[in-house]
Amino acid sequence: MIKLALVLSLARALLVPLALFNLVSRGEALTPSVGGSSGGASYTGPCDVIAGGCGEAYSVDRAATSAYSGALFQLSNGSSTLDIGQTTAHQVDLSTWAAFCGSSLNAPDANGVEASPTCFYSKIYGQINGNALVPSVFNAGGNCTAGGNTCAAPFAFEIATGLPIIETYQPEKYTLAADGNATGLTVGTRPISVLYNGKALDSGYCCGPFGIGHAYNVSDTYGTTFYISAAQGQYGSYANNRCATGAAYCSGGDEESINDFADYAFSNIGSIFGMVNWGGSGSNVVKSYINGGLLLAASPPAVSLCAGCAGMNLTGAGSIHLGAGGDLSEPAPALVREMALTNTAVSAADYTAAYANIKAFYPALTFTRYTAPSTAVTVVQSHASLTARPATSATTTFRSATGTTKHGVVVGLAWCASGGCTTATSDVFSGGSVTVGSNACIEVPNSFFSGSGQGGVHYQTEVWNCPNLSAAASVVTATTAGTSVSAIGVLADEIDCPTSGCTTDATATGGGAAAYGWLCDATTHGNTANAGEFLYSVAVSGAHLYAHAQGASLNAPAAGLKDEWVATGAAGHPQTAQWLQSSLSTGLACSSAAIDP
């Protein structure tokens, strides 16, 4: 689709989206697409509201601070370059690009972006310490060695705002010159935050699209990158950027070949302002925020739990990348307006202030606030035991004072068929029983799972539910159908539901899996009937386990035997409890069940 240069230039220069230009021509009311200051009003950028400011910041739409008056980015038309600066209101000056780039834009793509067929982003200026990003010139993820615009992203506009936006797809990517280390960023084992104002993409990718870490030609060592990521689904076999399911959207921190991620939606919420930060080696906490809400807080981070990993350490790893991971080899598409790095773990209050600043500047955009899902189910008590000897039954002490049909008990079982867990087995509890005192439990359909023997080890897990406590109980007993096994773990949790029942969701039922890389995804067999269900999960491994999503831990009778719960999100989707183990050399099995209050 061709647009006349005159119409385009006028609309962009006035910061009016073309979608609204026709309204103006017909004399209809116009709602400005951009906020911020105008005339002599004082200006406040997003880095101005963060204590300690930013260590580096980039924007193709405005100044990140009131003190910055330089160019925002540079354009190349293949034969010459043009710096694009600011207006007196600190907004992008769009008065010169059309004469330089030509008279047309390509038709809008699925992301609502119109790209120039002739001009490219040849430089994105660092507004704090001068760490300018330039197109990759390396033979990684596509051969960029020809330089020039070979791996540069087209100059583009976002229709919703009428302002520039950066949209990269492989092989388009940006680094510092020679992929060197940044100036003014105190990387190492000190706190850091990565902020990103853009849009989530409807595709999985290998790595976070923006952050700081090792240079492209340095080995991928766990903990040597810290990138923010937000996208849909799963990409190949990569564990460092995988949502729980292909339908989910997730976000968090990419820590090089491992991550701290959590799902936040089952539909694209459009514009996002995300932040991931690490408190440094002292606090050793990774937190992820998206659209005004806390998505996850992992302590310690995933990288601190993997075998042989030294934890997060960015010493000597100060290369900033956009549109690609640490080694630049795999796709990490970006759709971004603004991005920044700080030398602090930005507080929740300062993140909220920056979020408000961004929403005020982009009034035409909708940033759907993230609210963590909750459930009406409460946990009353938890008990667990591990019987490490041949047996046909195992028990754990349980003290329910009185029977009540509002209370139920969910029981996670884990077992080995033989010494060393080297033998696979069928569901030995099928035909057996699980009881809570005189209360009988029901095996959750589809929850049984037997590990694949990874590392020569076979573990088995499943979930039983006791929906109504009709009488007080003092013990939970799990009994096989007569088969003796070498070890049995019994993890029991009494839960209180708002109405009688605490029944298993008959549509979602249970689920299970074996280790997939570092992860075990215990995904329900079907879709949940309601939002806010109680998703219970049990996992067993020969290594250290931790709940990979934003779950609440319940029992941990051993480092490799744990259960947890998490509130489910929107109804009508499979739900996943995700586990991470600290080693790839041992087996891992996990099971889940959705309890509908």
pLDDT in tens, 156-187: 999 999 999 999 999 999 999 999 999 999 98
Please choose, from the candidates 504, 493, 383, 387, the residue with its C-alpha nearest in 3D space to the C-alpha of residue 443: 504
The pLDDT score that the predictor gives to residue 534 is 95
* Nearest Cα residue to 276 out of 253, 255, 300: 253
Residue 520's beta-bridge partner residues? Answer: 579
Q: Show me where the domains of the chain are located.
A: 46-361, 378-596
For 46-361, CATH gives 2.60.120.200
Residues 17-34: pLDDT tens digits?
Answer: 333 333 222 222 223 355
pLDDT of residue 490: 97
3-state secondary structure of 20: helix
Helices and strands, number each (H, E), in the chain: 5, 37
Q: From CA 136, how far away is CA 123, in angstroms rounded?
A: 11
Q: Is omega for the bond preceding 171 within 30 degrees of 0, making it cis? A: yes
515 — pLDDT class (breaks 50, 70, 90):
low
* Strand (E) or helix (H) holding 353: helix 348-361
Bridge-based pairing of strands 192-199 and 210-213 is unpaired
Contact criterion met (CB below 8 Å) for 188 and 313: yes
Between 364 and 10, where is the model more confident? 364
Mean pLDDT of the chain: 88
- Token pair listed for 1: 């689709």
User: Which residue has 């999503």 as its token pair?
Assistant: 549
Tens digit of pLDDT for each residue in 276-299?
A: 999 999 999 999 999 999 999 988
Q: What is the pLDDT of residue 320?
A: 97
Q: What is the pLDDT of residues 36-92, one digit of tens each?
A: 543 346 999 999 999 999 999 999 999 999 999 999 999 999 999 999 999 999 999
In a 13 Å sphere around the CA of 179, the CA atoms on its Cβ side amount to 21
Nearest CA-CA partner of 541 in 556, 524, 523? 556
**Average pLDDT of the segment spanning 222-244:** 82
Mean pLDDT of 388-416: 89
Q: What is the dihedral of CA 384, 389, 394, 399, to 10 degrees?
A: -40
- With beta carbons less than 8 A apart as the criterion, state whether 590 and 403 touch: no
Geometric angle at alpha carbon 377, from 374 and 380, rounded to 5°: 125
Dihedral sign from CA coordinates of 23, 29, 35, 40: positive
| Predicted local distance difference test score (pLDDT) of residue 355 | 98
Predicted confidence band at 518 (pLDDT cuts at 50, 70, 90)?
confident
Percent of the chain scored above 90 by pLDDT? 68
**Cα–Cα separations (whole angstroms), residue 40 to 14, 36, 43, 59:** 17, 12, 9, 22
Strands 433-436 and 473-479: antiparallel
Give, to the nearest 10 degrees, the angle between helix 18-25 and helix 5-13: 100
Residues whose CB is less than 8 angstroms from the CB of residue 308 and which lie 6 or more positions away in sequence, other chains included: 222
% of the chain surpassing 70 pLDDT: 90
Which position has the token pair 């509201």?
49
**Buried residues in 323-338 as b, exposed as e (16+ CB within 10 A):** bbbbbbbbbbbbbbbb
Instruction: Write the pLDDT tens digit of every residue in 111-157.
Output: 999 999 999 999 999 999 999 999 999 999 999 999 999 999 999 99
Query: What pLDDT, in 10s, does the model give residues 302-351?
Result: 888 777 778 898 887 789 999 998 999 988 999 999 999 999 999 999 99
At 124 the pLDDT is: 98
pLDDT at residue 151 in the model: 98
- Per-residue pLDDT at 523 exceeds 50: yes
Residue of 501 and 524 predicted with greater confidence: 524
Each residue of 92-116: pLDDT tens digit? 999 999 999 997 999 999 999 999 9
**Nearest residue to 60 via CA among 165, 147, 195, 212:** 165
**Beta bridge partner(s), residue 253:** 228, 260
Q: State the pLDDT at residue 358.
A: 98
Task: Tell me which H or E stretch contains 191.
Answer: none
**Selection from 592, 588, 591 nearest residue 580 by Cα:** 588
Higher pLDDT among residues 587 and 197, named by residue: 197
More confident residue, 250 or 584: 250
What CA–CA distance (Å, rounded) separates 109 from 327?
28
Q: Per-residue confidence at 11, pLDDT binned at 50, 70, 90?
A: very low
